[in-house]
A and B are shown apart, each in its own frame.
Chain A
Amino acid sequence: MLFDKFQTMADFQAELAARHVKPFGAVTEKILSATEGVVEGRNVILAGTNNYLGLSFDPRCIKAAQEAAARWGTGTTGSRLANGSFSEHQALETEIAQFYGVDHAIVFSTGYAATMGMCSTLAGPGDTILLDADSHASIYSGVKLSGADIIRFKHNDPEDLAKRMRRLGDRAGQALIIAEGIYSMLGDVAPLQEIAAVKREYGGYLFLDEAHSMGALGETGRGAAQAAGVEADVDFFAGTFSKSLGAIGGFCVSRHAELEAIRFCINAYIFTASSAPSIIASTRAALRIITEEPQLRHKLWDNANRLYDGLKDLGLPVGPTASPVVAVEMEDRSATIECWNALMAAGVYVNLVIPPASPSTNFLLRNSVSAAHTSAQIDTIIAAYAGLITAGLITPTSKAH
């Protein structure tokens, strides 16, 4: 039967409904600020939003969006290749290229379209792609469409990448290496100095998705490559406007002039309507803000360190280093669901992540930190996790400090 393959998911959703839990698609009834809302009838601290710099409620971004909607209308109703290229889109492309210090940029309607579109187009039949095993679903979708040979290397393992580049022989020089800055589920950062060294040794092109690291890492917020000092080794940077920039959309920037020809070959760019002018305008405002206000990034890291240290001190299994994404890994599905529900009851909304969205067979309580969180809110989140331990819903895996 056509629908048989969906039965497992239907059963899982039925189980969640029977337990009165709604972790997937929980309805936000009201947004009170960048860090508070009413979700499924509860007032909660938002700790699973990717709103890293808290700009979704910045009055300057809101004003820019309002003015653009009034001036340009609510939507473009067309593709960038047809009637959907407004001067706002062009201006954002110029500004995002300048932000990265390169000459070429493409703005996409979503971050998913940016990475999926680029990864499906850059390499084609006869080419080889080497991608990190924990790459985002948009990257996997893209490479699958590319027609290229797809080779995975172990997550954040430059030695495995080097081994696989060596095995390619003469083909290595044309290979496309794909990595991310901060990985979205566990918040770990790619070892980009080592990956760049592999590229320098064997050749190839490096595509880096900075979706979760733009705005969070680097001296001027350009991301993990800037932080690692290897931007010159990156051929294509991709990213999103839906996280640190508080809107929606995606981009790819490059020093390669060929990006201007590639633009006309990307179905995810051509066959979709361009972003609404209001979105582009708020993104432009947000980009200016992250350029001019590095203190936002410092506040984000203060909060990230506070949450990471707090959960680690409770003995919870968090990642190896602090990051704007702090994930608690659990092995038991049912226990993780119970914990998610208890956190909601305690007024804290986090993301429940189940395989295959999580990078292993583990389940995750994924927290994302915002510069807009107050220290008191971070402490409330930590206290909610302490409550899970007290209630016997989660057992510390390391000795609490």
Chain B
Amino acid sequence: MTDYQEYLDFLYSALAFQNKKQLVLSEDTALVADMGLSSLEVMEFIEKIEDHFDISIPLNILPDVNTIGDLAKKVRELNL
């Protein structure tokens, strides 16, 4: 099992080129409220994660995901 921090690190690197505001990313950084990702950008980002871990992330879990940390936890659960 990959450690939570490794999931976080992957998400940070995957988000690097979408970090238009040049924020210092942390697990508390909100994808939409802080980073300003559009719904299309969120879906592109999700697809990148899905392909990397070879999983599908159900749409219905996304309402519970606000921050990078939320997403890392969900991806870890799905990849167990």
Contact = CB atoms under 8 A, between A and B. Distances in A.
A144 B60 CA distance: 7
A150 B55 CA distance: 13
A149 interface: yes
A27 B55 CA distance: 48
B54 A167 contact: yes
Interface in A16-53: none
A80 B58 CA distance: 34
Interface string A274-291: 000000000000000000
Interface string B48-63: 0000001111111000
A150 B58 contact: yes
Interface string A167-204: 11000000000000000000000000000000000000
B60 A150 contact: yes
A255 interface: no
Of residues B54, B55, B60, which shows the largest number of chain A Cβ atoms within 10 Å of its Cβ?
B60
A144 to B, nearest CB: 7
Interface string A144-174: 1000111110000000000010011000000
Nearest to A131: B59
Q: Which of B56, B58, B59, B60 is packed against the most chain A CB atoms within 10 Å?
A: B56
A361 B40 CA distance: 9
Contacts of B59: 150-152
Contact of B60 (A149, A164, A167, A361): A149
B24 to A, nearest CB: 29
Contacts, number: 19
Contacts of A148: 60
B55 A167 contact: yes
Contacts of B60: 144, 148-150
B78 to A, nearest CB: 10
Contacts of A150: 58-60
Contacts of A128: 58
Nearest to A165: B56
Which of the four size classes fits the interface of chain A?
Answer: 10 to 19
Contacts of B56: 151, 164, 167-168
Nearest to B62: A150
Contacts of B57: 151
A8 to B, nearest CB: 14
- The residue in A151, A164, A361 that gathers the most chain B C-beta atoms within 10 A of its C-beta is A151
Contacts of B54: 167
A1 B68 CA distance: 27
B45 to A, nearest CB: 14
B30 to A, nearest CB: 18
A151 B40 contact: no
A149 B58 contact: yes
A151 to B, nearest CB: 5
Nearest to A147: B60
Contacts of B40: 361
A388 B75 CA distance: 49
Nearest to A153: B56
Contacts of A149: 58, 60
Contacts of A164: 56
A144 B58 CA distance: 11
A181 B40 CA distance: 25
A18 to B, nearest CB: 27
B44 to A, nearest CB: 11
Contacts of A151: 56-59
A290 B58 CA distance: 40
Nearest to A361: B40
A128 B60 CA distance: 11
Interface string B25-59: 00000000000000010000000000000111111
A361 B41 CA distance: 12
Interface string A346-382: 0000000000000001000000000000000000000
Interface in A80-136: 128
11 contacts: A128-B58, A144-B60, A148-B60, A149-B60, A150-B58, A150-B60, A151-B59, A167-B55, A167-B56, A168-B56, A361-B40
Would you list the 3 A-B pairs with minimal beta carbon distance, nearest first? A149-B58, A150-B59, A151-B56
Given A144-B60, A150-B59, A168-B56, 7 more contacts: A148-B60, A150-B58, A150-B60, A152-B59, A164-B56, A167-B55, A361-B40
